[in-house]
Amino acid sequence: MKRALFPGSFDPITNGHYDIIKRGIKLFDEVVVAIGINSDKTYMFSLEERKKFIEDAFTNQPKVKVVTYKGLTVDFCQEINAKFILRGLRNPADFEFEKAIAHTNRKLSKIETVFLLTAAKTSYISSSIVRDVIRNHGDYTVLVPDSVKIK
Ligand code: ADP
């Protein structure tokens, strides 16, 4: 089974992430969306909320699984037998950042990172911009899947 891990913070999932996952399931038998637990970071949404937003966005899609993990991404890939890491690329800054991580992951393991170029219509979206829109009471709903609901 060709299993890919799509790691990130997903605080919250955006239409950009959604597009990468939808396209990822055409390439892989299973895409495991993995929310990294980083105790040094502060988040707008709790782990449970972030997980539920993603699960609810893919309720009818058995090829998408949502999990949380701690520690090195490559170690978790080995644990769940995922031979690929899926990442999205929006711009040159993403590329430089992702290149260093992908090279490091290759040095530490045999896991290949597969990059998908963002869809033009979601290329400007980031979770941090969505959080800013939410904080300032803007219409965030045009940037995220319907499952993302603010209490
Ligand atoms: P991280 O904390 O690792 O940056 P994110 O949740 O922000 O996690 O992003 C996870 C992955 O989704 C990264 O590969 C990132 O490049 C990708 N991504 C984020 N936004 C978009 C977008 N609008 N289009 C395509 N890929 C995206």
Taking only the tens place, the pLDDT of each residue in 137-147 is 999 999 999 99
Distance between CA atoms of residues 32 and 143, nearest Å: 22
Distance between CA atoms of residues 8 and 147, nearest Å: 18
Give Cβ neighbours of residue 135 (< 8 Å, ≥ 6 apart).
none
pLDDT tens for 36-47 read 999 889 999 999
* pLDDT at residue 150 in the model: 85
Is 70 exposed, middle or buried, given 0-12, 13-18 or 19+ CB atoms closer than 10 A?
Answer: exposed
Residue 149 maps to a domain: no
Number of domains in the chain: 1
**Residue to probe by mutation, ligand 1, list 87, 115, 116, 148, most atoms within 8 Å of CB:** 87
Mean pLDDT of 25-32: 98
pLDDT tens for 113-135 read 999 999 999 999 999 999 999 99
* pLDDT at residue 39 in the model: 86
The answer, yes or no, to whether any atom of ligand 1 lies below 6 A from the CB of 94, is yes
Q: What CATH number is given to the structural domain containing 119?
A: 3.40.50.620
Mean pLDDT of 97-109: 97
pTM of the model: 0.95
> Are 21 and 64 within 8 A, CB to CB?
yes
Instruction: Determine which one of 50, 51, 87, 127 is catalytic.
Output: 127
Establish whether 41 is a catalytic residue: yes
Mean pLDDT of 82-108: 97
Residues spanned by the domain of 75: 3-142
Residue 13 maps to a domain: yes
Residue 25 maps to a domain: yes
Residue 147 maps to a domain: no
Residue 151 maps to a domain: no
- Neighbouring C-alpha atoms within 13 Å toward the C-beta of 138: 12
